[in-house]
Amino acid sequence: MNRNRSFALANVRGMTLVEIMVVIAIIGSLTAVLAVGLMNNLQGGYQSTTVLQIGTIEQNLQLYAAKHKGKYPTTSEGLARAKKYFKDSEVPNDAWGNEFLYFSPGTNGDHDYELISLGRDGKEGGDSYDQDIKSWALDELED
């Protein structure tokens, strides 16, 4: 019985080094393609989360104004002035970990206040996921 088993194993052909390298190259290529797609989806999720955070901050600012005769915190007071209206009394950052810019009164049009996230790069301007996310222009975001 052991002799038959040894004979069967002796006839099994293994993979050559070239075949193994081809398989590894294919796996590497597939991994790279999937990683790029995943990163784009992740950044899109960050952008959507930041839009939702702006909505939450706006609701909390409206609560603040309701308790303060329709007045919002000034630019110099900042969002920290209304922090007791936020969960855990902390003003959230955008999804990339950057603080929101806050202006009151608003500087663009007739807004009581403005909230701005500087996007993934944390710098003014930019395209795609680096673009600024502004409370008054949420519908203008590029996909």
Distance from C-alpha of 89 to C-alpha of 39, rounded to nearest angstrom: 32
Residue 108 belongs to some domain of the structure:
yes
- The pLDDT confidence band at residue 2, using thresholds 50, 70 and 90, is low
Backbone phi, psi, residue 117, to 5°? -105, 135
Q: Is residue 3 part of a domain?
A: no
| Owner of token pair 């939702």 | 52
Judge whether 124 lies within some domain.
yes
CATH code, domain with 70: 3.30.700.10
Question: Does the residue 4 lie in any domain?
Answer: no
**What integer pLDDT is reported at residue 141 of this predicted model?**
62
Number of domains in the chain: 1
Is residue 119 assigned to a domain?
Answer: yes
What is the per-residue pLDDT for 28?
A: 86
Q: Are strands 101-103 and 114-117 parallel, antiparallel or unpaired?
A: antiparallel
9: in domain = no
CA-to-CA separations, 68 to 14, 94, 128, in angstroms, rounded: 78, 26, 38
> Per residue in 15-35, is it b (16+ CB within 10 Å) or e — as a string?
eeeeeeeeeeeeeeeeeeeee
Q: Mean pLDDT across the chain, nearest whole number?
A: 83
The partner residues of 101 in beta bridges, in order of sequence, read 116
CA 115 to centroid of chain Cα atoms: 17
Instruction: Establish if 8 belongs to a structural domain.
Output: no
pTM: 0.69
Res. 13: pLDDT tops 80: no
Question: Residue length, the chain?
Answer: 143
Examine residue 10 and state whether it is found in any structural domain, yes or no: no
User: What would the mean pLDDT of 13-39 be, rounded to a whole number?
Assistant: 82
Nearest of 96, 135, 85 to residue 119 by alpha carbon: 96
Write out the residue range of the structural domain in which residue 90 sits: 18-138
Least confident residue range of 39-53, 77-91, 111-125: 39-53
The stretch 82-108 carries a mean pLDDT of: 88
| 8 Å CB contact between 117 and 67 | no
Torsion sign (Cα): 48, 53, 56, 62:
negative
Find how far residue 85's CA is from the centre of its chain: 24
